[in-house]
Amino acid sequence: MAKKVNPNDLDRILNPDKHHLDDEWLSQAQICYHWNQKAADADRDVDVAKRRIDVTMAEVYDAVSSAPAEFGLTKVTVDAVKSAVERHPDVKNAKGAYNEAVHQRNIVRAACKAIDQRKDALEHLVKLWARDYFAAPVATGTDAEVADNIKTSSTYKRIQERRRKRKEQADG
């Protein structure tokens, strides 16, 4: 039986690093393969658990039918035997294992869908990066000229001089 899914593994995978998109893209195929392999293993585990239920129920049915008194049956009817089989601990354990296998399969399938969504998110992040979405603001054209004019203006120089004098007085 495959081991349980660790939610921390998914958290790390499903939160791509927007500053290393190239590495994220290179790992996408490997991540997708890994989780689809887990999905196949989970499907196999569900099939094995289902067969285990069938075999266990057949074995218990034979045991109850051959020695009904050992299972507390005084009158042997089909319904009484079925009821004894359903109550047997081995059958309950097999059904519990089946339910757990189905649950794990559902979690892995959800992870596979989330990884497909990760691929879409990476595509959109790359588009944003190509449009300089993550870039720092830069003054260009007339904005740069305005900034230069402000720094060279007499008003700006007077303000800077006053700040310098205040600082000298405060340092004293």
- Specify the pTM: 0.65
Segment among 28-37, 95-104, 151-160 with least mean pLDDT: 151-160
What are the extents of the domains in the chain?
A: 7-135, 139-172
- Taking a C-beta distance cutoff of 8 angstroms, is the pair 158, 53 a contact? no
User: What are the helix (H) ranges across the chain?
Assistant: 7-14, 21-66, 78-87, 89-130, 142-152, 154-171
**Residues 128-171 pLDDT 10s:** 877 776 666 665 666 667 667 676 777 777 788 888 888 888 88
Residue 5: DSSP 8-state = P
pLDDT at 6 over 90: no
